[in-house]
Chain A
Amino acid sequence: MDESPTSGRLPTIAASIFVVCCLLASAKLVIDTPGPGSLKEDEVARRSDQRFAALKAELPQQGIVGYVGESGNRAVGDYYLAQYALAPLVVEHSPNHSLVVGNFLASPPEIPPDNLRLVKDFGNGVLLFASKDAR
């Protein structure tokens, strides 16, 4: 033993207060936790894998495809989720590719974006375009 134990109320009182505050934080942790009744459908799977399943089956196994989508708050997330679903294809946010994924959850365009022609409408705002220059 290389340290003599010392006694004192102050450290015990301070440690007790510390533990009580830790228990309070634990209570907060539990309160903020989603309960069994609030478990909902997984939004990431719904907006990515489920949404793009049919399109993925018709795209090549690897390579690069383009992407066009909506603007607004959700647009960036929608694009990331499209890439997440379609990996290992690289999905570049650009219409300058022979195949271009269209992602229009709110309102599909009435006419295809410039220089693109519609190949297939998979429903639910998921479209596949091809470049007019590509054969």
Chain B
Amino acid sequence: MGLALTAVTFCLASGYVIVAWGWPRRSSAFPDLLLRAWLATGYGVGLFSVIFFVARVLGLAHLIVADVGVLGLVVAAFFLLRARDMPPDAPRSSEENSRFPQWFGRILTASLAITLGAALYSAVMRALAHPHGEGWDAFAIWNLHARFLFRGGEHWRDGFSTLIPWSHPDYPLLLPAAVAHFWTYLGRESQAAPAIIGLVFTFSTVGLLYSALFILRGREQAMLAAIALLSTPTFIAQGTWQYADVPLSFFFLATVALLCLHDDGSREGAAQRFRGLLVLAGLAAGLGAWTKNEGVLFLAAIIVGRQWTAGRNLGKSTTLAGYTGALLAGIAPTFVLVAYFKHFVAPAGDLFSNPATMLHRVMEPARYWAIIQWFVKEFFRFGGWVIPGTVLMVGLYFAAGKDDRRTRETGFRTSVVALALTMAGYLAVYLITPYDIYWHLRSSLPRLFLQLWPSAVFLFFLGLKGGSCRAGMGHP
């Protein structure tokens, strides 16, 4: 138990130091602290996973030494880099102009408490009912890989054998390696580890959504968004399944939120001070690529989206180069890791196995029609709501309108373009899939929507007119 607590402390502390590293200001304001704490959990689990994988590759026997070493390095780098000027937090304006009447604020607070309670109850009960996760992928892919990493010792690479292609040995290892790292501290396998990691990612995603929107748009808009996510039955249920889709959605959201926070902060000048947020955004995108293959697609979409929208909005090539450089600096470490895994450990994936057949499939109009039909159907039935959440949001948009200033910002546009490109990429994968297209759509499309859902909710409420107006990141 003591070692398990040590593991959690290492994990969270290293995550927190990484976030503090890129943070533009010293602040003790509640939303700021909250946002850093939620980000720290994701980065911490990500780093924990990376350390385990690297230790396995290098054949290090004493994991705790590697952990202490890495934490020491991160802390030392933090103090070295933070020696530069960092402005303290200015007094936060308490003025908050709300578009909604006061009674509505109280209703929102009560509703948030109810939906949070319901989500917590449901998630914990589901985790208890299915300790090995619900659905096949938990034991056939994610926890199986964790077992190979933990039990395999120097033979850990056996788990990525072509003899068991159904276990998708080409899938990245953020989740399995993090689970195996916690098991190493415990000295045994415990199903509590993947179950708790699943719960942590689920509620960290909600917390991240809430705190980022609180900073950018105020409390009411943040509460509306958090209520929307907490009451998405599929999101809460999937969070307990021990699949990688919810952790991936966390890293997508972290990337998108940090890009928007960066642009919000650097809008009034002092852009250099906010570059750290771009590095953190890149790191989040990179950790997404280390979580699932879809993360690689998103990573590419973010780079393309950033180039496209920043180029149009900023104009100056030097500024654009600075933006891109900071983003790539965050992406680089995990990109190298993913590239190593794909090249030296994992066999080739199943999707791109036969280029000639792929080309043939691309030429079939019936496949396009089938995919579009399924995407439209999923738009209406996604989430397991009583009344489709997507339809409700469309209604809310027409009633409240769009915030023109927010939707013109580079971070917002980059994120929208990136999500659209990612969705287009998903469509393209269905087009070339070697599997039966209907089986593939049925078994994975709801989870692909789920990966993008928290980011879509964030962007929706960020761009929605109304709520309260806060000073934002640049004006604490």
Contacts and interface: CB of A to CB of B under 8 A. Distances in A.
Interface of A: 1-8, 10-19, 21-30, 32-36, 38-40, 42, 44-45, 48, 62, 64, 77, 80-81, 83-84, 87-92
Name, among A29, A34, A40, A77, the residue most crowded by chain B CB atoms within 10 Å (CB to CB). Answer: A29
Contacts of B133: 44
Contact of A19 (B108, B140, B399): B108
B100 interface: yes
15 contacts: A1-B95, A4-B97, A11-B466, A14-B395, A15-B400, A18-B392, A18-B395, A21-B387, A23-B115, A28-B385, A62-B155, A84-B144, A88-B151, A88-B152, A90-B158
B192 to A, nearest CB: 13
B115 A22 contact: yes
B231 interface: yes
Contacts of A77: 136
B98 interface: yes
B376 interface: no
Contacts of B465: 6, 11
Interface residues of B, number: 73
B361 interface: no
Contact of A88 (B128, B131, B139, B148): B148
**When A and B form their complex, which 6 residue pairs have the shortest distance between CB atoms, in order from nearest?**
A14-B399, A44-B132, A88-B152, A22-B231, A5-B97, A26-B118
Interface string B353-388: 000000000000000000000000000000111110
A39 B119 CA distance: 18
Given A3-B403, A14-B400, A83-B167, A24 B386 contact: yes
B435 interface: no
Nearest to B143: A84
Contacts of A14: 395-396, 398-400
B319 interface: no
Interface in B197-253: 224, 227-228, 230-233, 236-237
Interface of B: 95, 97-101, 104, 107-108, 111, 114-115, 118-119, 121-122, 125-126, 128-133, 136, 139-140, 143-144, 147-148, 151-153, 155-156, 158-159, 161, 163-164, 166-167, 224, 227-228, 230-233, 236-237, 383-387, 389, 392-393, 395-396, 398-401, 403, 405, 465-466, 468-469, 471
A15 B396 contact: yes
A25 B232 contact: yes
A3 B406 CA distance: 10
Contacts of A81: 139
Contact of B99 (A7, A25, A34): A7
A11 B403 CA distance: 13
Contacts of A30: 118, 121-122
A92 B152 contact: no
Nearest to B240: A33
Given A11-B99, A90-B163, A92-B164, A33 B122 contact: yes
B139 A80 contact: yes
A101 to B, nearest CB: 13
A45 B283 CA distance: 36
B99 A5 contact: yes
A39 to B, nearest CB: 5
A91 B156 CA distance: 14
Given A12-B100, A44-B132, A25 B233 contact: yes
A15 B166 CA distance: 45
Name, among B101, B140, B401, the residue most crowded by chain A CB atoms within 10 Å (CB to CB). Answer: B140
B107 A16 contact: yes
Given A4-B97, A33-B121, 14 more contacts: A10-B399, A14-B396, A15-B400, A22-B389, A23-B114, A25-B233, A25-B389, A39-B128, A44-B131, A62-B158, A64-B161, A80-B167, A84-B147, A90-B158
A5 B98 CA distance: 7
Contacts of B395: 14, 17-18
A65 to B, nearest CB: 10
Contacts of A11: 99-100, 399-401, 465-466
Contacts of B401: 11
A124 to B, nearest CB: 19
A21 B399 contact: no
A44 B401 CA distance: 49
A8 B99 contact: yes
Contacts of B122: 29-30, 32-33
Nearest to B386: A24
Contacts of B136: 77, 80
Nearest to B104: A12
A46 B389 CA distance: 38
B475 to A, nearest CB: 9
Contacts of A91: 164
Contacts of B471: 1
Contact of B386 (A25, A40, A45): A25
